[in-house]
Amino acid sequence: AEMARVLADSNHVPLHRLSLLVHSVSIMHKSLDGMPEDENWKALTRNSANLRVYIMAFDVKSDDMLRILKPSIPLERIHFDSYITCVSGAVVDLISRQYDKFLTHFILMNDVIDMSGFPDLSDNRNEDPLVLLAWRCTRLSLLAVHGYTVWAHNLIAIARLRGSDLKVLEVTEESIDFDQGELADQ
């Protein structure tokens, strides 16, 4: 928060890119109480109108991400990489609602070794958070998913929603799953 206040001062050169690294180890040793609040982000973007933020999160719990992701962050790129924890569908949904104007890159990687299969972000809901991300985030040009279940029909929906604007759609073959009805039709 203090860094955001200093950078928001009008006597500083406006920022164009801010890259933030959030790691579970740093969160364990340092409280999230010092994170910028929404007012801090608003002040920073007033002085830096073209600011775009890139967040790289390593093994950050979904609850912590929900505390970090403020509505006024001009988030352009986000990269989740997990070895211990998994990102929740609620976090993906929040990102798609809050950052629909700026988000261009969304990378979701999970290396959690779990013999029961990859986590499913849709949590058996009708709406898949990745499909909603592709629908809401009209500037999305890169979507990469590794180690999470992506249903084949949702993968098709994502590709159709973004069309040729989606320059990279990268999904690990093992992540793609089919409904039993779809398998019977194949």
Highest mean pLDDT among 7-21, 112-126, 137-151: 137-151
Of residues 28 and 158, the one with the higher pLDDT is 158
Dihedral angle of Cα 76, 81, 84, 86, to the nearest 10 degrees: 50
Contact 22, 56 (CB under 8 A): yes
**Does a structural domain hold residue 131?**
yes
What is the C-alpha to C-alpha distance for residues 65 and 63, in angstroms, rounded to an integer?
5
Structural domain boundaries enclosing 103? 14-177
**Residue 183 confidence (pLDDT) above 80:** no
**Does a structural domain hold residue 35?**
yes
CATH of residue 19's domain is 3.80.10.10
Minimal CA–CA distance to 145: which of 163, 116, 122? 122
- Cβ burial, residue 186 (10 Å; 0-12/13-18/19+): exposed
DSSP letter assigned to residue 120: B
Confidence of residue 14 (pLDDT cuts 50, 70, 90): confident
pLDDT in tens, 15-37: 999 999 988 877 766 777 788 99
Amino acid type, 81 = D
**Residue 125 confidence (pLDDT) above 70:** no
Of residues 96 and 114, the one with the higher pLDDT is 96
**Does a structural domain hold residue 100?**
yes
**Residue 78 confidence (pLDDT) above 70:** yes
What is the C-alpha to C-alpha distance for residues 133 and 75, in angstroms, rounded to an integer?
13
Q: Tally the domains of the chain.
A: 1
Q: Which residue has the tokens 């910028």?
A: 36
What is the C-alpha to C-alpha distance for residues 18 and 26, in angstroms, rounded to an integer?
18
**Does a structural domain hold residue 32?**
yes
pLDDT in tens, 33-75: 788 999 999 999 998 999 999 999 999 988 989 989 999 999 9
Confidence of residue 186 (pLDDT cuts 50, 70, 90): low
**Does a structural domain hold residue 183?**
no
Minimal CA–CA distance to 38: which of 4, 64, 65? 4
